[in-house]
Structure 1
């Protein structure tokens, strides 16, 4: 599949970086001839809540808990439960033209396909990667990617609009201590039970690998046949024209 790698897309703040994802979605919906847009970046410390969570009684306290741990609370465009990420993680956005029906098996098929693609990438890096949930994982999902069936490594979420689909994934690559601490505090306020021992990272499952190796492997897997690269400010100018 042809793809455009979106570069220089960070530095807009936690909420602004999520807005970039929505702008990419809008651009593809309006320009169906666009190849897949692929964005891989290291985010600022963020706790991304779902809109459903924002309606819960414990949400204000959860927002305060995130902020007190140095993480900016935001509402993310896709579904799921609260996810924490920072510079030790990678966020991957995949935006495709969407010409199928909304919801149902079509959405399930996309989750399964992308989950298997991430598992393939991690296996090539030496991880015993599998597709499926880990009991007690944060933001549980049928097509989470785990290691050894014991720790979650990749969580995915998606948003579909008329004409385009955004699939977003968060991947802890290195240190997890700060991420676990903030999720413990946030999920306590939201009254969500989870097992912090299920929170894993890629480098803890490999030997001789670096964060750069992980990034390069993901870019090759999802944008390896790319027709080129586009800097985000160029894409933004096209959106505004």
Structure 2
């Protein structure tokens, strides 16, 4: 599996498109299975359903006012926010029938990321936190006193003929700014949620940073697959 660690592009749309380009290349057989990591620009990624709501224009304006670029993504559910205190993991593999394994991948990747976070000291598990943003059955959460409290990882998939892309956002640092922008975005969209559920790994493991989580991720991957490192690159 090829490892790609992209340098900051400061262009949220290009960052998202890069993942879809990798998906097409793997599907066409011009690229091997690929693991891509990057630290994203400040972005609010809206779901396609969000864009049809009456409050969408106000939600876009709220995103911009907080310094987050609003985008409509092709995969995933409701609005999610992320920034350079997060890690995006795009895992792309060829497959004859990518649709057949969709639910299995959600479960397997959820367990994988929960294991990585547990390894660095967080009490992490898989499952929706009541009231979380962009709610998902296989969200990875952090627990306080054994109670699921904070959403830490959101996941989404895209499948095309010949390949699948599993994309995950791990929130590591600076959850306060994410809560702030999401509070205004969800109010504009008139979608109820509980802002206290938007957390970061450092909220449970003080002092942990993006470098620590990235190192733990790569170490966990290397126990499962052989990674061939390519040169880091900016998003074309």
TM-score by length of 2: 0.91
**Is contact 1:4-1:223 (8 Å) kept?**
no
Q: 1:161 to 1:10 in 2, by over 3 A?
A: farther
Equivalence for 1:157: 156
Matches of residues 62-73 of structure 1 in structure 2 within 5 Å?
Answer: 62-73=59-70
Asked if 1:110 is matched to 2:112, the reply is no
Matches of residues 156-195 of structure 1 in structure 2 within 5 Å?
Answer: 156-195=155-194
Equivalence for 1:127: 122
Q: 1:137 to 1:44 in 2, by over 3 A?
A: same
Equivalence for 1:137: 132
Q: 1:28 to 1:232 in 2, by over 3 A?
A: farther
Equivalence for 1:53: 50
TM-score by length of 1: 0.89
Equivalent in 23, 29, 33 of residue 31 of structure 1: 29
**Is contact 1:136-1:195 (8 Å) kept?**
yes
Please give the per-residue CA displacement for 1:111-152, whole angstroms capped at 9, x wherever unaligned: 001000001101111111111010000000000011111111
Please give the per-residue CA displacement for 1:5-47, whole angstroms capped at 9, x wherever unaligned: 112354160101001011010110001771x311111111100
Please give the per-residue CA displacement for 1:82-136, whole angstroms capped at 9, x wherever unaligned: 1101111111111111222526xx2111100100000110111111111101000
Asked if 1:84 is matched to 2:84, the reply is no
**Is contact 1:40-1:219 (8 Å) kept?**
no
Q: 1:9 to 1:120 in 2, by over 3 A?
A: same
Distance 2:28 2:119 in 1: 36
RMSD: 2.0
Equivalent in 8, 31, 37 of residue 6 of structure 2: 8
Please give the per-residue CA displacement for 1:64-92, whole angstroms capped at 9, x wherever unaligned: 11111110001123121111011111111
Distance 1:185 1:235 in 2: 30
Asked if 1:228 is matched to 2:225, the reply is no
- The SS at the match of 2:230 is strand
